[in-house]
Structure 1
Amino acid sequence: MESIASLLKDINPVYAALIATTFTWLVTALGAAMVFFFRDLNRAWQDIMLGFTGGVMLAASFWSLLNPAIEYAEEMYPGFGWLPAAVGFLGGSLFLFGLDKLAPHLHINFKESEKEGVATHWHRPTLLILAITIHNIPEGLAVGVLFGAAANGVDGVSITSAIVLAFGIGLQNFPEGFAVAMPLRRLGVSRLKGFWYGQLSAIVEPLAGVIGAAAVTYMRPILPYALAFAAGAMIYVVVEEVIPETQRDKYTDQAVLGLIVGFTIMMVLDVSLG
């Protein structure tokens, strides 16, 4: 991890964020490629994978984003470090709330009658892909913002911690790519198209990462707000999308254990390496 950090240390944070989020996208593609080797995905494992994804996102939201936002804001506004963090957190949550209400989409384990967003006649595969795409926006944004924060010398944030976050996001993107491609396959989509759409759902991560890194690099005062914004967006996704998707069958306990494992792994990575 340190060797990778040394390679990225002297690179412009926008380019570093692009490299890191390209990695998370490629891991999603690798997960989606499993559709070529497996005929189906057991529902229990799908719920466990989704739970794991939620756990990683929850842990990253606090240790990688919200806590550094509060610490940095405290330096800028002594005694009021909580204020920028609260504003940013609410802003990120409301942004995803608005996106969720406007963009037509359908969560993985939901019936077609439960599609969300504006009314549309788009088919189920398209709506599934859009749901995961919305999910991936805060992930890419979080990685980009953290690289920008590291470049600005924020206490508690380093290139290593940004890489750890990218690694954690990538770790949960592998089962996520698989969990997107397989339902599409069950809908009659070919293996090649299942893979294509599965990896395509994460292509938004490099774009969001570049935007996040550029914003905080060139507009330093927004840094604590941006860190908390990414945290709020990720928490919204976990509570509104990931957890409900795991609670619609008989494997709810397994999904909860998957979440706990994901949370623990991300916490350990961030605390020990970040």
Structure 2
Amino acid sequence: MISVSDGQVYTAFAVTLFAGLATVVGGGLVLFLKKPNFRLLAFGLAFAAGAMIYVSLTEILNKSIASFSLDFDEKTGFAFGTFAFLLGVILVLLLDRFVPNPHDTIETHSAKGVSSPQLLRTGMLTLFAISAHNLPEGLATFFATLESPALGAPLAVAIAIHNVPEGVAIALPVYMATGRKDYALWASLVSGLAEPLGAALGYFILAPYMSETVYGLIFGVIGGVMVYLALDELLPTAKRYSEGHETVYGLVSGMAALASSLVIFKFIQ
């Protein structure tokens, strides 16, 4: 069994909470900004996608393989790590199939011709769907930080960027339906808290069974989940908001920023 200190657990929860609360930032944008900058949003979403893809394929997957290899031989560890990665893709694909994540975020919600009850229902359904998708993201952030803050921190930043437009998607219809700023902010907050909830559930369920094999399984699944989210949610949404090359610039910038941060952490550790 792998032992971790209370300090490591608290740090991991704090980082996960930071990422989750970014949905409140999105809720605030609905209330205080008249017109969002869609090109900046496209760049930010693609930036987050680039960071998530890079860290998943270069760090998280490798940690999965390394963990499996400590309990098995190198070839078996590589095979198990690869299969765990694919399992993560399949699991989030099934989640997306049965609980579709709304990809509309800002401009697709219009008050014209839509009644307040319909808007409120849209907001509540969006809240439920996004909260369900935030559970595995919280688990990913928590265990990545638990293993290494140098790995978890940049991943948390990428997920936080991803959570901002999700907060917009929740808060906008609620605000339009009720006219209450506090209701809109509370709705975005509830969705964000799903991430530390996912971390807590995962930790308390898996803590008694922590071993190198379990770590390998967790990191493999996390890697698959992150890559799927980046390719299926972030990049298509970024492309929809883009007016030029913001998606490509953001993708490359996200990879470069994540790679640079990992190099820096290697030298200061």
Structure 2 residue identity aligned to 1:44: R
Q: Cα offset for 1:167?
A: 4.2
Pick the aligned partner of 1:76 from 71, 93, 118.
Answer: 71
Greater helix share, 1 or 2? Answer: 2
Alpha-carbon shift at residue 251 of structure 1 (Å): 2.2
- Deviations along 1:145-169, whole A, 9 cap, x unmatched? 2244x3xxxxxxx344334433443
Asked if the contact 2:22/2:167 (under 8 Å) is kept, the reply is: no
Letter in 2 for 1:96: V
Query: 1:212 aligned to 2:208?
Result: no
CA deviation string 1:82-137 (max 9, x = no partner): 1221221122111111111111542125969xxxxxxxx98332343344334423
1:128 aligns with 2:134: no
Please state whether the residue corresponding to 1:39 is helix, strand or coil. coil
* 1:180 and 2:169 matched: yes
Question: 1:206 offset after TM fit, Å?
Answer: 0.2
Distance 1:249 1:168 in 2: 18
Looking at structure 2, the residues matched to 35 and 56 of structure 1 have their Cα atoms a distance apart, in angstroms, of: 26
1:92–1:230: 8 Å Cα contact kept in structure 2?
A: yes
Q: CA deviation at 1:227?
A: 0.4
For each residue in 1:172-218, what CA deviation from the matched residue of structure 2 results, as whole angstroms up to 9, or x when unmatched? 25644564367547966644443333333221110122233445543
| Counterpart Cα distance in 1 of 2:254 and 2:134 | 17
Return closer, same or farther for 1:70/1:174 CA change in 2, 3 Å cut-off.
Answer: same
- Give the TM-score normalised by the residue count of structure 2: 0.77
Q: 2:223 aligns with which of 231, 234, 240?
A: 231
Aligned CA RMSD, in angstroms, stands at 3.1
Q: Which residue of 2 aligns with 1:145?
A: 143
Q: Which runs of 5+ in 2 are unaligned?
A: 110-117
Q: Secondary structure at the match of 1:248?
A: helix
What is the aligned partner in structure 2 of residue 201 from structure 1? Answer: 191
Describe the shift of the 1:102–1:87 C-alpha distance in structure 2 as closer, same or farther (beyond 3 A): same
1:88 and 2:80 correspond: no
Supply the distance in 2 between the matched residues of 1:227 and 1:136 (Cα, whole angstroms). Answer: 17
Is 1:260 matched up with 2:255? no
Give the alignment of 1:109-120 within 5 angstroms. Answer: none
Identity %: 23
| 1:228-264 per-position Cα deviation (integer Å, ceiling 9, x unaligned) | 1011111111222222222335525212222222222
Indicate the residue corresponding to 1:98 in structure 2: 94
Structure 2 Cα separation of the partners of residues 180 and 111 of structure 1: 9
- Counterparts in 2 of 1:271 and 1:10: CA distance versus 1, 3 Å: same
d(CA) in 1 for partners of 2:227, 2:182: 32
Distance 1:212 1:17, change over 3 A: farther
Aligned to 1:81, the other structure's residue is in SS state: helix
Relative distance call for 1:243 and 1:164 in structure 2 (3 A) is: closer
Whichever residue aligns with residue 169 of structure 2, its letter is V
The one-letter code of the counterpart of 2:186 is: W
Count of residues in correspondence between the two structures: 249
Separation in 2, partners of 1:251, 1:12: 45
Query: Which of 28, 36, 43 in structure 2 is aligned with 1:33?
Result: 28
Provide TM-score, normalisation by structure 1.
0.75
Q: CA deviation at 1:16?
A: 3.4
User: 1:31 touches 1:178 (CA, 8 Å); kept in 2?
Assistant: yes
CA 1:86–1:238: 2 relative to 1, 3 Å: same
Tell whether the 8 Å contact from 1:14 to 1:213 is kept in structure 2 after alignment: no
Give me the whole-angstrom Cα distance separating, in 1, the residues matched to 2:155 and 2:101: 27
Inter-partner Cα distance in structure 2 for 1:246 and 1:10? 39
